[in-house]
Amino acid sequence: MVVNCVASYSATRESLEQVFKNINAQSCPRHFNFHMHTVCSDGRLQPAALMEQAIAIGLKGLAITDHHTVDGYQAAKIWLEDWQQRHPGTFVPQLWTGVEINAELLGVEVHILGYAFDPKHASIQPYIQRVTATGQQYQAANVIAAIHKAGGLAVLAHPARYKRSPRDLISAAAAISIDGVETFYAYDNPNPWRPSPSESLQVQQLAAEYGLYNSCGTDTHGLNLLQRL
């Protein structure tokens, strides 16, 4: 019998909001990780290998955020359902839907992370076709609206990596109803992974100022979930 992922793992928007309310600098990479890539976009990990690592690390919850596709999530979901069947009574991490979407905001390209959305909803389809959307669909306001229509949460990825200041971008994103920001992020790719102190503090303060959720993630593209590259 196939296990229903939402029922088994409680990977809903509401459960994710509860997690985001309590995210701090110690949450990632060993408790939660909301930014990871697989071979389905520009990462090196197979979805199954990613999930094996997530369980070995002891992650409580995660999201695979491949660029413009949910194929990695879908494969990981099937793997996790099978793993739970073979390990009854064992803790299963929460796996939320995720995607990373390119969009224009204040004249620069930013990345918006979508979480806990229905991947079958019509509004999200233009953004999971493995290519960057164009025209009006490329505008950040429309990306955020599409994620919301699909029942999900929208988060501005690594706000201190762009050509505009975090304050400018977070203020603009808040004005178009973004839900959160990727507060805890390792901008200089340290080993071991740790969020960059000054940037994380600035983003955390801006999140509080604009009433946004905090998120965290390693932005893994390599073979180790505890590193970015």
Q: Phi/psi at 108 (nearest 5 deg)?
A: -125, 155
Residue in 229, 196, 217, 225 with CA at minimum distance from that of residue 99: 217
Q: In whole angstroms, how large is the CA radius of gyration of the chain? A: 16
- Confidence category of residue 8, pLDDT binned at 50, 70, 90: very low
- Confidence category of residue 101, pLDDT binned at 50, 70, 90: very high
Mean pLDDT over the full length of the chain:
95
Residue 106: is its pLDDT beyond 60?
yes
Residue pLDDT, tens place only, 125-164: 999 999 999 999 999 999 999 999 999 999 999 999 999 9
Domains defined along the chain, listed by start: 11-216 (3.20.20.140)
Strands 32-33 and 61-63: parallel
Residue 3: is its pLDDT beyond 50?
no
CB 17 within 8 Å of CB 209:
no
- Confidence category of residue 121, pLDDT binned at 50, 70, 90: very high
| Spatial separation of the C-alpha atoms in residues 101 and 144, rounded to whole Å | 10
What is the three-class DSSP state of 213? strand
| Residue 10 pLDDT | 56
Distance of alpha carbon 216 from the chain centroid: 8
Question: Can you tell me the mean pLDDT for 96-121?
Answer: 98
| Spatial separation of the C-alpha atoms in residues 102 and 47, rounded to whole Å | 22
Percent of the chain with pLDDT over 70: 96
| Residue 5 pLDDT | 34
Residue in 25, 116, 23 with CA at minimum distance from that of residue 65: 116
Helix (H) / strand (E) containing 111: strand 108-115
| Spatial separation of the C-alpha atoms in residues 211 and 227, rounded to whole Å | 29
- Confidence category of residue 11, pLDDT binned at 50, 70, 90: confident
| Spatial separation of the C-alpha atoms in residues 57 and 74, rounded to whole Å | 21
